[in-house]
Amino acid sequence: MERVADFRSFCGNHSPPVRGAVDVEGDGEMSGIEELAKSLRGECKEIEKRARALMDDPVFRGEQAFLGQHNEMREQIMLAVRHLEDARMRLGKVCQYAGDGVSIFDKA
């Protein structure tokens, strides 16, 4: 748990609360790496929501400085969103393999 505390102090202590933690060892706590990965997943989700909100920015209702400017900006926003989705999935895999090795989707 020491590394998680260090990470939170490094990040200014605004990590979202961890939800759906898996108690692999049966001692009432999840592993430090799993807690950190879940926290980072939550942060990625929040950043993804904010990035998606850029699609509705007032700049897109204005004039373009050059032909295709707004389309390129939208495409880059969506690429950023896709990368954030991928990062969330990969952090989920860290949680999966730090736990019982079974995907949460296979448990449903």
Q: Where are the domains of the chain?
A: 2-107
What pLDDT score was predicted for residue 100?
A: 87
Cα separation, 59 vs 70, in Å, equals 8
What distance separates the 2 farthest-apart alpha carbons in the chain? Answer: 60
What pLDDT score was predicted for residue 63?
A: 97
> Is the separation of the CB atoms in 60 and 75 below 8 Å?
no
What pLDDT score was predicted for residue 69?
A: 97
pTM, full prediction: 0.69
Cα separation, 3 vs 101, in Å, equals 22
User: Tens of pLDDT along 32-72?
Assistant: 999 999 999 999 999 999 999 999 999 999 999 999 999 99
